[in-house]
Structure 1
């Protein structure tokens, strides 16, 4: 009929975004699949971005320095650079050589043949010499500071020039050696005084025989020993200075010996553990932890070294 509207069949039409009636199942399926793929991609990107070392907090390292997962830690604590882990194993005391300090899981250790490296021994000697020099430099700084204080107190040189007629007039003509010797003498006197106090305080306080020593060290009995004349007091002060200086030299020699021994043992211990990290290599478990197995011979060796 003319003027009658002809309706197109619904099957011939292609639904577009402007159509009010759309196939809901088709839209939901496509949208859910698209969203799931986006979520997976986001998860992969997030996982890759979170793969960073838990010690240095860096995601990238050297070309031969890989990120490994050696224990049961998950999340941000899962990965660690092999070099960072080996350094931690060598400097940390206790069982950190063979166990994770976070989850307490034992590492899977692979035994490899270690090649002796002479450069490590050279570094060991360099580190020992460096620490000894730092201790020596600290002592010289204190002596120089005391000598500087003496120089400020004797600005006009009255005290220094008073030694012109005596046997030490050579030092009095040169201000720097003179005040350095004054600083060294004062340093050893103070070292002997405080060393004697610490020595007496470390003894058994309940022993009545130590009461006189402690009273003398803490200054309660010193004033009773002073005579009335100023000349005798001055002579007694000189005697105390000489005694404390001798004690200071003895305590200084003892402290220096103990410090060098402690420095040597510390660096030797670290050197040995660094060599052991090259012999006992931590395996990468890729997030799948299982109880480790170690050869009994090597297990006994690590236990003997208090590393397992």
Structure 2
């Protein structure tokens, strides 16, 4: 029952990441793991080091927590140029995919807008006759996209600010049940308010209300375009920073390689304690 079953020396090596036995020349043993977890393809390990979420796997084994012995590749100008070229190509690929996705959304909105304005030509009449039909609706879709995106952010910011301000000043408010909006002021319960049903005390001037609403909507639309551009730039910058760091780490994994200690386990076991964590028993799953 308590006997240890010796491992067969002639058994095929299996990569602990991809569980494959191909490419035997690419197998390395970089840490204190034993048995079925002892071997890993160098390519698989480099890929895992570069995409691991917390970044710790770049220097440490996830299983035995051993700190890899990393050595830089001999400086080779041609290799450095190749790595830099690959890095730039990958970054360019990600930027291109984002731009294509953005263009796909705009083009889809263009055809929808063109179909909706097919009979009335209301949008088309706003532009010079020299512009092409597709250009008119594409430009309109672009403006609407940024305006809608910006207005959502602006309205969300304004509502949050107004709610915080309303909660802060609620006790000192002469009309605590009044709800003030950018375009109007509505008194939900006017007991204790002035008789004109207006929080500001002014009369119910309905004549210019429609004009005021239109002007304010146009102002919000103009601000929304600017806010949309800023939000889009921030979003793209954040996405590209994330991808750039990941791609650069992938190149770093090729530049700083993990040392192979296959057949030299005694060297690992004799290393300082701070580089390794002693594991009393490492079980090999059947």
Q: TM-score, normalised by structure 2?
A: 0.66
Q: How is 1:67-82 mapped onto 2 (pairs within 5 angstroms)?
A: 67-82=27-42
Where does residue 12 of structure 1 map in the other structure?
none
Between the aligned partners of 2:163 and 2:33, the Cα distance in structure 1 is: 51
Q: Secondary structure at the match of 2:255?
A: helix
Is 1:98 equivalent to 2:98 in the alignment?
A: no
Give unmatched runs, 5+ long, in structure 1.
1-38, 212-218, 300-308
- Give me the whole-angstrom Cα distance separating, in 2, the residues matched to 1:223 and 1:199: 16
Cα distance, 1:128 vs. partner? Answer: 0.9
Q: 2:56, 2:233 → 1: CA distance?
A: 35
C-alpha RMSD of the superposition: 3.9
Report what 2:108 is aligned to.
145
Q: Is it true that 1:113 corresponds to 2:74 in the alignment?
A: yes
Q: What is the CA–CA distance in structure 2 between the aligned matches of 1:235 and 1:121, rounded to whole Å?
A: 52
Note if contact 1:53-1:80 (Cα within 8 Å) is conserved in structure 2. yes
1:248 counterpart = 2:234: no
1:190 counterpart = 2:148: yes
CA distance in 2, matches of 1:224, 1:135: 40
**Structure 2: 5+ residue stretches without partners:** 170-178, 186-204, 276-286
Assess, with a 3 A threshold, how the Cα gap between structure 1 residues 175 and 274 changes in structure 2: closer, same or farther: same
Aligned with residue 176 of structure 1, among 108, 123, 134: 134
Matched residue, 1:8:
none
**Which of residues 243, 258, 262 is equivalent to 1:284?**
262
- Deviation (angstroms), 1:97: 2.3
* Pair 230,196 (structure 1): closer, same or farther in 2 beyond 3 Å: closer
Deviations 1:53-97 (A, max 9, x none): 111221012x742x2232233443222112211222233343312
1:87 maps to which residue?
Answer: 47
Within 5 Å, give how 1:122-137 maps onto structure 2. 122-137=85-100
Partner SS state of residue 162, structure 1: helix
**Larger relative helix fraction:** 1
Q: In 2, Cα distance between the equivalents of 1:263 and 1:168?
A: 42
Task: Return the offset for 1:140.
Answer: 1.4
* Residues 105/275 of structure 1: CA separation in 2 closer, same or farther (3 Å cut): same
- Partners in 2 of 1:233 and 1:197 — Cα distance? 15
Which of these two proteins has the greater Rg computed from alpha carbons?
1
Q: Whole-Å Cα distance in 1 between the matches of residues 267 and 135 of structure 2? A: 67
Residues 56 and 199 (structure 1 numbering): CA distance in 2 closer, same or farther, change over 3 Å? farther
The corresponding residue for 1:264 is 244
Equivalent residue of 1:104, what SS?
coil
Assess, with a 3 A threshold, how the Cα gap between structure 1 residues 220 and 258 changes in structure 2: closer, same or farther. farther
CA drift at 1:158: 2.4
Report the counterpart of residue 162 of structure 1 in structure 2: 125
Alignment of 1:10-49 (within 5 A): 44=8, 48-49=11-12
User: Where does 1:195-274 land on structure 2 (aligned, <5 Å)?
Assistant: 195-197=153-155, 199=157, 221-224=181-184, 229-274=209-254
The answer to whether residue 19 in structure 2 is matched with residue 57 in structure 1 is yes
